[in-house]
């Protein structure tokens, strides 16, 4: 049986324009079906996450999972956090939303701030934006010399190889939308006063560079989709599919860890006897 991760994983050169954003690979039902399935997937995620968390607390695992979300403005990184990350126990989650680097962060290598936010054993980390910003906006806006940008792809690969070599699992998701999807969503934000706070005039400046960003993403997907940390292209024009797909892949990732409940590191019967006397 193929899992969804292998269906959505990308290898080699990719032409994003040829990927419809409203596709629903691996899912045959309706929107209603997907919405109905989500709480079931959530219950399973909660159980699997508790197993990971328990092992982290017991010190019996070095495993940790990092869900990394990238995508254009309005692609639904926040919605994924709310609807997918929101399915699990917040105690076991470590969410980081990366913004423009601070002065302190700028004094270090671009991976410094990323390394500090990697999840601990037993935890599920979620990155809302990530190290890839430094080869996306970094490349499009020429925020560093071209040769420095070029070197970053391999630096990122080496960084991810180290993370996955140390018990980490990376689930990298590119939330793929079309320019029309974005226009529609930006327009919604401008029509609804409860959404003004999500809107930033600078979003249109970025939008004007759509082809450049798509190209920068294509380079990322080609150079940084590795065996140990593949990229997944998640069609995100339909929010219900995006949520279903990411929740499903997160479930596959957690299940594959194959963890068991940590054994007692104390004498259970002795403890029962002691408790009975108190």
User: What is the torsional sign of CA 94, 99, 105, 110?
Assistant: positive
Based on the shown chain and the rule CB under 8 A, indicate whether residue 120 belongs to the binding site for its own copies.
no
Asked whether 177 and 236 are in contact (CB, 8 A), the reply is yes
Q: Looking at 158, 187, 211, 256, which residue binds its own copies (CB under 8 A)?
A: 187
Query: Residue 114 forms beta bridges with which residues?
Result: none
Based on the shown chain and the rule CB under 8 A, indicate whether residue 43 belongs to the binding site for its own copies.
no
Of 114, 116, 123, 115, nearest to 64 (Cα)? 123
Query: Residue 232 forms beta bridges with which residues?
Result: 9, 173
Question: Which residues, numbered 127-166, are part of the site for its own copies (CB under 8 A)?
Answer: 128
Q: Looking at 11, 115, 183, 256, which residue binds its own copies (CB under 8 A)?
A: 183
Based on the shown chain and the rule CB under 8 A, indicate whether residue 32 belongs to the binding site for its own copies.
no
Q: What is the DSSP string of 232-264?
A: EEEE-SSHHHHHHHHHHHHHHHHHHT---PPPP
Based on the shown chain and the rule CB under 8 A, indicate whether residue 35 belongs to the binding site for its own copies.
no
Contacts (Cβ under 8 Å, ≥6 apart) of 155: 110, 111
What the block records as the tokens of 270 is: 């002795």
Q: Looking at 2, 28, 102, 194, which residue binds its own copies (CB under 8 A)?
A: 194
Q: Looking at 30, 36, 40, 97, which residue binds its own copies (CB under 8 A)?
A: 97
Based on the shown chain and the rule CB under 8 A, indicate whether residue 258 belongs to the binding site for its own copies.
no
Segment lying near its own copies (by CB under 8 A), choices 7-15, 203-211, 224-232, 248-256: 203-211
Q: Which residues bind its own copies (CB under 8 A)?
A: 54-55, 57-58, 78, 81-82, 85-86, 88-91, 93, 95, 97, 128, 183, 186-187, 190, 193-194, 196-201, 204, 207-208, 261-264, 266, 268, 271-272, 274-275, 278
């Amino acid at each position: 049986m193929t899992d969804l991760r292998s269906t959505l994983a990308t290898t080699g050169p990719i032409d994003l324009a040829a990927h419809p954003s409203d596709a629903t690979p691996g899912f045959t039902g309706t929107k209603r079906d997907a919405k109905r399935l989500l709480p079931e997937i959530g219950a399973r995620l909660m159980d699997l996450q508790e197993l990971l968390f328990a092992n982290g607390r017991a010190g019996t695992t070095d495993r940790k999972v990092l869900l990394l979300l990238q995508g254009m403005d309005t692609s639904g990184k926040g919605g994924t956090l709310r609807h997918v990350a929101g399915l699990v126990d917040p105690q076991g989650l470590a969410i980081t939303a990366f913004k423009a680097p601070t002065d302190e962060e700028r004094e270090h290598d671009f991976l410094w701030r990323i390394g500090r936010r990697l999840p601990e054993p037993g935890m599920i980390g979620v990155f809302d934006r990530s190290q890839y910003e430094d080869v996306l906006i970094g490349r499009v806006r020429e925020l560093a010399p071209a040769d420095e940008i070029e070197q970053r792809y391999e630096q990122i690969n080496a960084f991810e190889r180290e993370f996955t070599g140390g018990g980490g699992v990376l689930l990298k998701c590119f939330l793929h939308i079309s320019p029309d999807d974005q226009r529609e969503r930006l327009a919604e934000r401008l029509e609804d006063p409860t959404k003004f706070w999500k809107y930033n005039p600078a979003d249109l400046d970025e939008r004007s560079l759509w082809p450049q960003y798509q190209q920068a993403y294509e380079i990322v997907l080609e150079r940084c989709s590795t065996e140990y940390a593949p990229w997944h292209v998640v069609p995100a024009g339909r929010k219900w599919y995006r949520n279903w797909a990411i929740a499903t892949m997160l479930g596959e990732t957690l299940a594959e860890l194959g963890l068991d409940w940590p054994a007692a590191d104390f004498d259970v019967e002795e403890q029962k006897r002691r408790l009975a006397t108190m």
